[in-house]
Copies of this chain bind each other. A is one copy, B any other.
Amino acid sequence: MVKVAIMGHGTVGSGVYEVFAMNAEKIARVAEQPVEVKYVLDLRDFSHLPYADKFVSDFSIIENDPEVTVVAEVMGGTGAAYEFTKRCLNAGKSVCTSNKELVATHGEELLAIAKEKNVNYLFEASVGGGIPVIRPMMQCLAANEIREIRGILNGTTNYILSEMIHKGVSFEDALKQAQANGYAEKDPTADIEGHDACRKICILSDLAFGDKFDPNAVSCEGISKITLTDVEEAGKLGYVIKLIGRAVRCEDGTAYAYVAPHLIPKNHPLAAVEDVFNAIMIDGNATGDVMFYGKGAGKLATASAVVADMLDAIAHAEKRRPVEWGDGSKNLLRPIDTLESVWYSRKPGKPAVITGPMTTERAMRDCKDAAALMRVL
């Protein structure tokens, strides 16, 4: 019998409990023993739930219980989640999380503690929700140098763009629909300005290239300036507009990483990714392009990825999974203006593709207005 704890009982946290309940038999088969959720940490009142007796409001109960060996951190943010994760790891407990903000911001420190304490810090659910991405990239592509990563990493913006492309809905109205459908938060900034996608491309870059990519240093442009006219003009030329998180490795080991709307040819596999779906395409120097596709969010999908990590942590209780990256001192991030692309100039009245590839500076000679330029994938 393994005992685990869940920190946070929001959407993902309650989903983690639900997955343990609904798939108990399968989980016991994989873990080769039953797995029991001993505690759920949350300050709110859940006394109406059938598992109300699991709830604790004092973190130190989990921290000080040696029976609990694996903890799910599904609180979100970089406040208490950061502190509690550190204390769990220091107490010799593995931590599994969907918290992309925490991994992108403090991953290297938390992984260093995990290494020192010989426990696991795993975060498959932090990128792509329930879509397998991190483990396939790190394990199945282990014999590859990763050359490039291109992903539709945010379901909210992809839903908004899909509505604009296929139904002619304006950005503002599509955003309102997304909020009404529960796909977007009341404050949608993190999604529509690309910050969420930025954290995810940083995590993938950290893993692929071995040193920290700071979300604050990575160029990040969202979709709030994309108009229906842009979408229509791009369509006429055979493209769709998608928000892409992208990382490109250079020969010397440095890399580009950024988030920006791109024009994508309609026959490209990423162009067919609609609505709230995500897809991540990874180019290995031996495999070529492989793509992972599915719903990038959702309660049970994300929760099941957290639970899969917990099962992996149980399997690797003695010999931890070797995951780590540097503190950013290698300065691998290249200035984005030097990344050559084919460009699209969306100047009113005469939109056109500027064949290249060329740098931003060179593209600016053709199109004087930086805000009117968009990269073509």
Chain A residues with CB under 8 Å of chain B are: 19, 22-23, 26-27, 30, 32, 124, 130-132, 135-136, 139-145, 269, 272, 284-295, 298, 300-301, 303-305, 307-308, 311-312, 315, 318-319, 322
- CB neighbours (8 Å) of A315 from chain B are 319, 322
Residues A294 and B291 in contact, CB atoms below 8 Å apart:
yes
A139 to B96, CA, bound (A): 14
Q: Which residues of B contact A294 (CB under 8 A)?
A: 287-291
A145, B285: Cα distance in complex, Å: 33
The copy count of this chain in the complex is 2
Contact for A288 among B132, B141, B298, CB less than 8 A: B298
Are the CB atoms of B272 and A301 closer together than 8 Å?
no
Tell me whether chain A's interface is mostly helix, strand or loop, or mixed.
mixed
New A-B pairs, 12, CB < 8 Å, besides A135-B139, A144-B304: A23-B144, A23-B145, A23-B285, A27-B142, A130-B286, A130-B287, A135-B135, A142-B307, A272-B272, A288-B298, A291-B292, A315-B322
Contacts of A124 in B (CB 8 A): 140
Q: Take A136-B135, A140-B136, A141-B132 as given contacts and tell me if A291 and B293 are in contact as well, using a CB distance cutoff of 8 Å.
A: yes
> When the two chains form their complex, are residues B295 and A293 in contact, meaning their CB atoms are under 8 A apart?
no
In whole angstroms, what is the CA distance A305 to B288 when docked?
12
A295 to B286 CA separation, bound complex (whole angstroms): 11
B residues less than 8 Å from A288 (CB atoms): 130, 294-295, 298, 300-301
**Contact present for B291 and A304 (CB under 8 Å):** no
Q: A286-B303, A288-B295, A303-B286 are in contact. Are A26 and B130 (CB under 8 A)?
A: no
Q: Please indicate the chain B residues that have their CB under 8 angstroms from the CB of A145 in the complex.
A: 23, 26
Q: A131-B290, A291-B294 are in contact. Are A143 and B27 (CB under 8 A)?
A: yes
B318 touches A301 (CB 8 A): no
Q: Could you tell me if B319 and A293 are in contact, using CB atoms closer than 8 angstroms?
A: no
Which residues does chain B contribute within 8 Å of A140, judged by CB atoms? 124, 132, 135-136, 305, 308
- A322 cross-chain contacts in B, Cβ below 8 A: 32, 315
Docked pose: A138 CA to B297 CA in angstroms: 20
The one of B141, B144, B295, B312 in contact with A142, judged by C-beta atoms closer than 8 angstroms, is B312
**Cα(A26)–Cα(B142), bound, Å:** 8
Given known A-B contacts A272-B269, A272-B272, A291-B294, A142 and B286 have beta carbons under 8 A apart? no
Measured between alpha carbons, how far is A136 from B137 in the docked complex, in Å? 10
With both chains docked as a complex, state the minimum distance between the C-beta of A74 and any C-beta of chain B, in angstroms: 14
Q: Whose C-beta in chain B lies nearest to the C-beta of A311?
A: B142
Closest B residue by C-beta to A31: B142
A32 to B300, CA, bound (A): 36
Q: Which residues on the B side are within 8 Å of A289 (C-beta)?
A: 294-295
CB contact between A319 and one of B26, B272, B311, B319 (< 8 Å): that residue: B319
Residues of B within 8 A of A27 (CB): 142-143
Complex Cα distance A301/B307, Å?
30
Assess A287 versus B272: contact at CB under 8 Å? Given A140-B135, A143-B23, A143-B311. Answer: no
| A32 vs B115: C-alpha distance when bound (angstroms) | 14
